[in-house]
């Protein structure tokens, strides 16, 4: 295996594990805030998981079109990425129409 390919695999695996950790933490925050109704739920940077997923997919050494579907799946599964963005846009839209 070439050194560059090995490094790309290492970056992909490390970024994927970091994404999974951030996504799990975002699920924990959502559970504590919306289900358990805790008053103060500290948040990490919401879109960080989405950016880390981008790094993992870009570094992925296999050339296939399926890797972009994996990125979309990562954005949907991470509550801090696409669902959080959709919720934010919905709130902005609602506030804009109330004026």
List, for residues 32-73, the tens digit of each pLDDT value: 877 888 777 666 677 788 888 889 888 888 887 788 888 888
How is the chain split into domains, by residue range? 3-98
Give the pLDDT score at 33: 74
Instruction: Please report which confidence band the pLDDT of residue 81 belongs to, taking 50, 70 and 90 as the band edges.
Output: confident
pTM: 0.72
Query: What percent of the chain stands above pLDDT 90?
Result: 14
User: Is the distance from CB of 80 to CB of 47 less than 8 angstroms?
Assistant: yes
């Amino acid at each position: 295996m070439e050194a560059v390919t090995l490094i790309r695999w290492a970056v992909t695996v490390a970024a994927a594990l970091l994404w999974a950790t951030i996504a799990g933490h975002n699920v924990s925050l959502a559970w504590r805030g919306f289900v358990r109704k805790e008053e103060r739920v500290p948040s990490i940077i919401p879109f960080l998981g989405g950016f880390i997923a981008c790094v993992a997919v870009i570094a992925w050494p296999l050339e296939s079109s399926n890797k972009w579907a994996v990125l979309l799946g990562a954005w949907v599964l991470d509550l801090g990425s696409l669902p959080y963005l959709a919720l934010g846009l919905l709130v902005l839209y609602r506030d804009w129409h109330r004026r």
